[in-house]
Each structure stands twice: as C-alpha cells, then as structure tokens.
Amino acid sequence: MPQAVIAPSILAADFGDLAADAQKVIDLGADTLHVDIMDGHFVPNMSIGAPVVKSLRKHMPKVFLDCHLMVSEPEKWVQDFASAGANMYTFHVEAHANPAALIEKIHAAGMKAGVAVKPGTPVEAVLPFADKADMILIMTVEPGFGGQSFMPSVMPKVKTLREKYPNLDIQVDGGLGLGETIETAATAGANVIVAGTSVFAAPDRKAVISGLRQVVNSKY
C-alpha cells in the first residue's frame, strides 16, 4: 500500500486569508491541499473555480494542488485548471460518458487524473479505468457540503480497490478525523486522506495531521 497522503480541504479554511491559512497546514505537515470545485448543478452548492487555484499557485509555487471537480461537464475545464496550476484534476465518473478519454485529456494537459465515485455509485463503475487513473476517490459523504458525517457503508469499495490495485492511491473524502473514522478508512485500504473541518478547526492542527498519517501508515 502506498504511503499516507494528508490533504486538508481548503473548503474549511479561512477564505478571508486563504493563502496564509492554507500555507499554515502545509507548514504543519500536510502533504497536499484539496480544492473543492462545485458548480451548483452537479451538486447543490457552489464554491470556487480556476481563478482561486491560480491565486493559490502564485502564493504557493511548490504545493501540490489536488482539485476535486464536482461539476456536470468536467471536460470543459481541463485546460483552465491546467493553466491555473492544478496538479491533480479529479472528476466524477457519474459526470462523464467516456472517463478513459477524459483521463487521457487530463494527462495531455500535464495534470494527474483522478476519478471520483459518489456513495451510491458501485465501485464497478471505476474498475475499467482504475489502471489508467492516478487516483480513485471514494466519497464518504454525499458531495456538496463540508461537515457531514462519515459513511462507513462505502468502505467495501475501498477494500475492493485495494485488493485489486495494491499500489493505487485511494482517496477518501468526507467526515474524516482522528478516531473511529480514520481507523475504519485506513483499515479498508485508503491512503489519501481528505480532512477539512477536523484539521482547520482543530486547536492543534499539527497533532491531527500527524495522527492521521500515523494511523494510515500503521496499517501495513
């Protein structure tokens, strides 16, 4: 199993001082920043877009920006995010009829490609593309809003992917923090951990980041 990657979601950061707040969690040990992009159509909420990614890139030239596109037509925005400086472009399998072609387009634009799966979508939907993608994201909440409760019922998807693809980066996103949720996710085989509120709202962010990493890396 690959090493732990801790990816705080900036959806929970201070948007009035976003670059500085995001840099703090990197300085405290986070590996990447998870950037949630929502269009108000694919999910019932709106967030940020490529201009914010471009601004973050200007302030954080070396930080890995993991962009999660919760949008209806993900093929439209590939070049915009590549130009803005995104490193990972993750789209939802439910939002595109030809995921393999979109993965190729993302790679051609110079980014890594991730494929996300909603809680109600069977893992079989991504199995044909798992060896082409750089990461598979198993949503552990319904996409669209931060602060939701972790859904352990989706863990069999993570376990299936880990058994079939031992070296694959498997991301989980939603309701994760120290305690039962990270233990459950890591035991199933997740290694890329998105944590928003549990990191940004923590009195000791460094302890949360290191604690999440320790649990994941203890599982193998």
Read off the pLDDT of residues 40-91 as tens digits, 9 standing for 90 and up: 887 877 788 999 999 999 999 999 999 999 999 999 999 999 999 999 999 9
Q: Give the active site residue among 39, 134, 169, 173.
A: 173
C-alpha 194/C-alpha 75 separation (Å) is: 24
Residue 68: closest CA among 131, 116, 12: 116
Question: Would you say 173 is a known binding-site residue?
Answer: yes
Q: pLDDT, tens digit, for every residue of 132-157?
A: 999 999 999 988 766 678 999 999 99
- Kindly report the number of other CB atoms within 10 A of residue 220's CB atom: 12
Confidence (pLDDT) at 41: 80
Confidence (pLDDT) at 107: 98
H-run or E-run covering 158: helix 155-164
Q: Give the active site residue among 36, 39, 134, 169.
A: 36
Residue 158: closest CA among 125, 132, 194, 191: 191
Beta bridge partners of 184: none
C-alpha 21/C-alpha 73 separation (Å) is: 30
The pLDDT of residue 35 is above 80: yes
Question: Would you say 81 is a known binding-site residue?
Answer: no
User: pTM above 0.85?
Assistant: yes
**How does residue 201 score in pLDDT terms, banded at 50, 70 and 90?**
very high
Phi and psi torsions of 172, nearest 5°: -125, 145
**How does residue 170 score in pLDDT terms, banded at 50, 70 and 90?**
very high
CATH of the domain at 83: 3.20.20.70
User: Average model confidence (pLDDT) for the chain?
Assistant: 95
Determine whether 173 is an active site residue.
yes
C-alpha 60/C-alpha 51 separation (Å) is: 14
All residues at 6 or more sequence positions from 147 whose CB lies less than 8 Å from its CB, including other chains: 12, 196, 197
Question: Would you say 110 is a known binding-site residue?
Answer: no
Residue 211: closest CA among 166, 181, 189: 181
Confidence (pLDDT) at 146: 65
Question: Would you say 147 is a known binding-site residue?
Answer: yes
The answer to whether 43 and 65 have CB atoms below 8 angstroms apart is no
Residue 27: closest CA among 176, 211, 202, 209: 209
Residue 67: closest CA among 80, 59, 58: 80
User: Count of domains in the chain?
Assistant: 1
**How does residue 32 score in pLDDT terms, banded at 50, 70 and 90?**
very high
C-alpha 114/C-alpha 129 separation (Å) is: 10
Question: Would you say 36 is a known binding-site residue?
Answer: yes
Residue ranges making up the domain that contains 87:
5-217
Q: What type of residue sits at position 78?
A: V
Question: Would you say 31 is a known binding-site residue?
Answer: no
